[in-house]
Chains A and B, each alone.
Chain A
Amino acid sequence: MHKNKKTCFLALVVGILFMITGCWDNRDVTKLNFITALGLDKTPEGSIELTVELPRPSLMGKGQVGGGGQESKEKPITIVSAQGETVLAAARNLLEKLEKPVILSKHELLLVSEELAKSGLMEVLDFFERKPESNMTSQVLIVKGSPIKKIMETESEQEKIPSIHIANCITTNQNRLGSSKESRIIDLLREISNSGQDPLIPTIEISQEKEELKVKDMLISGTAAFRGDRLAGYLTATQTRGWLLAENKAKGSVFTVANPLVKDQKVSFETYRTIGKKEVELIDGQPRLIVQLKVSGSIGESQGGLDLTQPDQLALLQAEIEKTIKEEVESTISTVQEYQTDIFGFGEIMRRKYRSEWQKMKDDWPELFSKASYQIEVETRINRSGYIRQGTKSE
């Protein structure tokens, strides 16, 4: 028996070793095209147009091909697109135009057009879910208004590959500003399959029409709220922040409020820690949505005099900030109630808390959610006032 156990253990270890090595196929790196970004659009005829961004390694910088000091005028990326009935068909058609086969495992960005989003994301996402080599941590973006190809052909002055610039922008906007939200394929799929929570996907749009578009000419903020896999409506940047606060995902952002003492002057409050809590209560069979926020931060800037050593002035400011935050979250909730999409996942909380009631409510949840009353509690703490207590005053 003891020997058997040992053999089993050994077999297990060896088996695991075999599995962790992953899938394989002998292909040389130089004989592959890496896709760094994909764009999916719907043509008026109803077929899918796939646009891919392919970096050209030899133009990526320190290759020995360039040799000399002068920068190559050629673009370091190529944009190719093809059409097909399905994503896979389009991808196959793409190969007609390429010298080397493509490899999907490195894409950082998946751009989806508004039309596709409206008709249902699963139409295209199934391909990524099914394909073993696809990068499930790639970010998804909804392109608002303009054709996908135009967005993908933009150039970046800071990054060789524009799609990486865009992907980084989303992350920064989420963490530093709270104006956008990262949405990865794997999370998206989970949210779509979950009846208690609807997905929220960041959007991108062209803010300035120009001949040669750069990434800086685009607005990478705001989000698109979905119902299931269908687009329901858009949220602005501030509304997105309201969602991030409630969702406990806001890492740091700046709230600018009116100075409570001096007219027409502003105070900026920099948050560095937010604890958001969501709760649902059933009162007489009607759900009541509760959002509790604890925000702490410091005064980043203050126009006009404000003596923060005075408790009463501090309290005034605190009340002002609380009001602003509360309004923001309220605006988010009321908007999504209008869209009838539960991006906060209140339904999920319901399912956990009121199991039997949820079974009955499940089917009309969007309706119930849109009519539900809500309550927002904000608690602010001003921990620091920066390097000084009081600004210099001219005498």
Chain B
Amino acid sequence: MFSRLKKKFKYWQLMSKANQEKNSPPRKEKIPESTSELKEKLRQVFAECDDFRLREIIVGEKKFKLNIAFVDNLISRQAFNDNLLKPLMDPHLTALLPADNQDKIIAYLKENILNLAEIKEQTDFKESVQNILNGESVIYIEGSSTALVASIKGWEARTVQEPQTETVVRGPREGFVEDLGVNCALIRRKIRNPNLKMELRKIGQKTGTNICLCYLKGIADEELINEVKKRISQINIDAVLESGYLEEMIEDNPFTFFPLIGNSEKPDIVAGKILEGRVAIVCDGTPFALTVPYLFLETLQASEDYYTRSITSSILRILRLVSLFISLLLPGLYVAFLNFHQAALPLNFLLTIAASREGVPFSPFTEALFMGLTFEILQEAGIRMPRPIGQAISIVGALVIGEASVRAGLVSDPMVIVTAITAISTFILPPLQRMLPYFRLIFIILANILGLLGMVLGLIAIITHMCALRSFGVPYLTPFAPSSPLDMKDTLFRFPHWLMFTRPRALTWQETGRAKYRIDLASSIKNKTNLENRKKMKNDLAKNREG
């Protein structure tokens, strides 16, 4: 079934590629020189756009007509008044405006009058319209087919705040915002290196969303960079509202439960991934940046692992792995042991469970399904509901799951405990949180049919599937399969930073030096020379005395 869907998907991909070739880059459109023509054209483009503004001013002794076009509320009024209108309308400044040549005027405006950080020339009309929509102000000059684009963007945006999804006890608390520029700056602030490349792209025919590829040149694999660029250039979509759109368009295997592209809301995490040789894709309009390639290992890693002591974080990693297995297998194991392998349980434990199951009308299987479903409904409701009615959900949830179902004799006590432990374990691994319930369900069904044998079969199937997965060409289970002993330093155990000599081999082979061993050779040599110097001085002193 999947292979057919895959074929269809490939067909779509090929179709979109063909379409893209058809719509080869549109021809350039010149900016009209005459003011009236220009106004007519702009009016056509921005018909019924009441937030579009066109400000006409007359500059200098020669009475030049300048048309400044912008979209209201996308620019900063303050900057517009102070840095654009004020110098342009100052007769002292504009008095020296050369009269004869339009090019000279543009150069003079750029170099001498407009006190703005970013200003560039634009010759294409369509591009200039795009600039206006981006929140820039476009200055059309009468008699010239070149316009000036002044960047005085300024719109209402969220400030940098602590993200709600990836909270930490220790570590930076800033998170990405919805603004691409701010997000890029946040990454740049972490990696102050000219090799950190940031390539802007525009995706989405209707939305024209800006995205930015961030990578460290010299560390990220060239092939990987090219692959990411290739995939992104092949995207043919009309709207990108969130990075999830991109994720689906560029991932290797669209029909798997496993996340094949990472996302994070925190600049330090993204910076860390970039430093390991990954490519980050920051998308305008969302605080979630994507990182590729994504390995299964990353679901067990947390940013805090690198900020706290290596021993404690290693223990926490193992805890995460254990909780992964708990949340995946526990309800299934419960069903399997109670239905098939009673002999494997200690007598006292068995009797306790049998006692609490006495009178429960459903089999463990039905119970597990019912409780699992109830929990998923509660969780979804908890996320979707409006904040003020949150209390109601928690009260009803606690009553339904905890008290009432047990009291009514519909569900046994151990099943409630199993459900609770499973649910809590799920929350330890946010990247897998959305896929674990489905696997859990599969395991419960398998356990009810074949007991532990069925669960083993299920595990084999899942691991085989994981082995077959690739994320941007990198096997999903690296460094476990294919095994890469050198990369084991950052898997279940997080080695101290001074022992992490190399970058992950699966991602990059370039410039692997990462840390020097703690005993700095250079300084020990220095000490040695100091010692020799001192000896020499001693000798000299002795000689002097003799002398």
Residues of A within 8 A of B (CB): 14, 17-18, 21-22, 24-30, 32, 34, 36, 55, 57-58, 60-65, 103, 105-106, 108, 133, 135, 164
Known: A21-B453, A24-B451, A64-B406. A57 touches B358 (CB 8 A): yes
Least distance between B499 CB and chain A CB atoms (Å): 32
Q: How far is the CA of A63 from the CA of B340 in the complex (A)?
A: 22
B351 part of interface (Cβ distance < 8 Å): yes
**Once the chains bind, are A57 and B351 in contact (CB under 8 Å)?**
yes
Q: How far is the CA of A103 from the CA of B363 in the complex (A)?
A: 18
Q: How large is the interface on B (under 10, 10 to 19, 20 to 34, 35 or more residues)?
A: 20 to 34
In the complex, residue of chain B having the shortest beta-carbon distance to the beta carbon of A36: B347
For A29, list chain B residues within 8 Å (CB): 338-339, 342, 350, 353-354, 357
Q: How far is the CA of A240 from the CA of B486 in the complex (A)?
A: 60
Partner of B456, one of A17, A55, A135: A17
**A interface: dominant SS:** loop
In the complex, residue of chain A having the shortest beta-carbon distance to the beta carbon of B449: A26
Q: Which 9 A-B pairs have the closest CB atoms?
A: A105-B343, A63-B355, A57-B354, A57-B355, A21-B452, A21-B453, A24-B451, A24-B340, A58-B358
Partner of A133, one of B339, B343, B354, B413: B343
Least distance between A364 CB and chain B CB atoms (Å): 44
In the complex, residue of chain B having the shortest beta-carbon distance to the beta carbon of A66: B355
* 15 further contact pairs, Cβ within 8 A, besides A18-B456, A22-B343, A65-B355: A18-B453, A22-B452, A24-B341, A24-B452, A24-B453, A26-B339, A28-B339, A29-B339, A29-B342, A34-B354, A57-B354, A60-B352, A60-B355, A105-B342, A106-B350
Q: How far is the CA of A312 from the CA of B381 in the complex (A)?
A: 85
Partner of B339, one of A27, A61, A106: A27
For B456, list chain A residues within 8 Å (CB): 17-18, 21
Known: A18-B453, A18-B456. A27 touches B342 (CB 8 A): yes
Q: How far is the CA of A27 from the CA of B354 in the complex (A)?
A: 12
Number of A-B contacts (CB under 8 A): 91
**Once the chains bind, are B339 and A64 in contact (CB under 8 Å)?**
no
16 CB contacts below 8 A, A to B, read A21-B451, A22-B343, A24-B451, A26-B448, A29-B350, A29-B357, A30-B358, A34-B347, A57-B351, A58-B358, A58-B359, A61-B352, A62-B356, A63-B356, A65-B358, A106-B342
In B156-201, which residues have CB < 8 Å from any A CB?
A: none
**Once the chains bind, are A30 and B351 in contact (CB under 8 Å)?**
no
For A18, list chain B residues within 8 Å (CB): 453, 456
Q: How far is the CA of A26 from the CA of B339 in the complex (A)?
A: 5
Least distance between B336 CB and chain A CB atoms (Å): 9
Residues of B within 8 A of A (CB): 338-344, 347, 350-360, 363-364, 406, 409, 413, 448, 450-453, 455-456, 460
**Once the chains bind, are B355 and A14 in contact (CB under 8 Å)?**
no
Q: How far is the CA of A58 from the CA of B353 in the complex (A)?
A: 10
For B340, list chain A residues within 8 Å (CB): 24-27
Known: A28-B363, A28-B364, A29-B357. A34 touches B339 (CB 8 A): no
For A57, list chain B residues within 8 Å (CB): 351-352, 354-355, 358
**Once the chains bind, are A22 and B347 in contact (CB under 8 Å)?**
no
For B452, list chain A residues within 8 Å (CB): 21-22, 24
In the complex, residue of chain A having the shortest beta-carbon distance to the beta carbon of B456: A17
Partner of A62, one of B338, B339, B355: B355
Least distance between A3 CB and chain B CB atoms (Å): 15
